[in-house]
A = this chain, B = another copy of it.
Amino acid sequence: MKRTAGELAALLGGALDGEPGESIDNVAELEAAGPGDLSYAEPRYANRVPSSRASCVLVSEGAFPGKTTITVRNPKAAFARAAGWLMPAVRPEPGVDPTAVVRPGARLGTGVHIGAHVVVEADAVIGSGTAVYPGCHIAAGCRIGENCTIRSNVVLYPGVEIGRRVVLHAGVVVGSDGFGYVRDGDEYVQFPQLGQVRIEDDVEIGANSTIDRGSLGSTRIERGAKLDNLVHVAHNVRIGARTVIAAQTGVSGSCDIGDDAVIAGQVGVADHVRIDAGGVVGAQCGIPSGKRIRAGRVFWGTPARPLDDIKIQQAHISRLPKMAAELARLRGLVEQMIEQGDETGG
């Protein structure tokens, strides 16, 4: 879509400096940008604005004579919003592809897109404006809210509940059986995996991630949480609102992760862990069973500890060669003194 710098300033509520009629139809990084592009500069890169060829740059302060800029509080966030306006995601056309199978009793809202070879089972409900891409299987009794984007080959097991504006990327599986067995003599009996999964509004889940259903209770991913690719969420986990989890992290059964937590990639969270609201966990961290992670310090390592403590310990370990040398020197001195003492004494 083509907009002018003036229109963008109005949309973003920012202060325009330069040509209001400057035409914009694309977005780019500051240094890759050319005519027609909108870009942005965070404060530390303000010095790169004058040499950018972007038609308009979002900045947080400063004057850039000869450039068209819009001053906003948070240039990167404003840029992200502007990109959504300039280049809105292409939504597939409403309608049900003739190759899709929609079972009797399933209910579709208005403007729903059901792609080729999708299966929507009995009593599933799909909210208005939601798009279900090819090859998805929406099992019986699932409820998907409005304006969701369910990418290709997603599988929802029976009874999964999805809020509004949720994005599930390709290959996501939601509602699979939790991993729970009871050893009984020489064999394993599956513990019942009969619970629910509830995914709230504005959640996004990355490609090929897997979310298990509760065993007896529920697995819940709360409003605005963002999960990256290949993340594993086990049964009866709660992931709090706006919590962010990077790729390949695994969360074991019955964990409770608070709101606004930040969990890096390849983290392993053992069962019954509690992460407080706002907790921060570094990449590849391993959190032992039942542990509580408090907010205010970054946790890291396996087993997880405050990063500052690990750094102090690492410093001590780094000094080991020096300690060993010092110890050898002292031993030499002491032995020499003993020898001299013996000589003196003898």
Contacts and interface: CB of A to CB of B under 8 A. Distances in A.
A247 B244 contact: no
State the oligomeric state as a number of copies.
Answer: 3
B248 A250 contact: yes
Contacts of A230: 208, 210, 230, 232, 250
Interface string A314-334: 001111110110110011011
Nearest to A326: B327
Contacts of A171: 153, 155, 171, 173, 208, 210
B330 A324 contact: no
Interface residues of A, number: 105
Nearest to A245: B179
A181 B226 contact: yes
B216 A27 contact: yes
Contact of A327 (B133, B301, B330): B330
B323 A317 contact: no
Contacts of A265: 232, 250, 252, 268, 270
Interface string A45-78: 0000000000000000000000000000010110
A198 interface: no
Interface in A133-153: 133-135, 137, 139, 151-153
Contacts of A11: none
Interface of A: 27-29, 32, 74, 76-77, 79-81, 83-84, 87, 90, 97, 99, 101, 115-117, 119, 133-135, 137, 139, 151-153, 155, 157-158, 167, 169-171, 173, 176-177, 179, 181-184, 186-192, 194, 202, 204, 206-208, 210, 212, 216-217, 224, 226, 228-230, 232, 234, 242, 244, 246-248, 250, 252, 264-266, 268, 270, 283-284, 286, 301-302, 312-313, 316-321, 323-324, 326-327, 330-331, 333-334, 337-338, 340-341
26 contacts: A28-B216, A79-B192, A81-B189, A83-B191, A84-B190, A84-B192, A90-B158, A117-B119, A135-B155, A169-B177, A171-B171, A173-B208, A176-B207, A187-B242, A190-B204, A206-B210, A208-B208, A230-B232, A250-B265, A270-B283, A284-B302, A317-B317, A330-B331, A333-B338, A334-B334, A337-B341
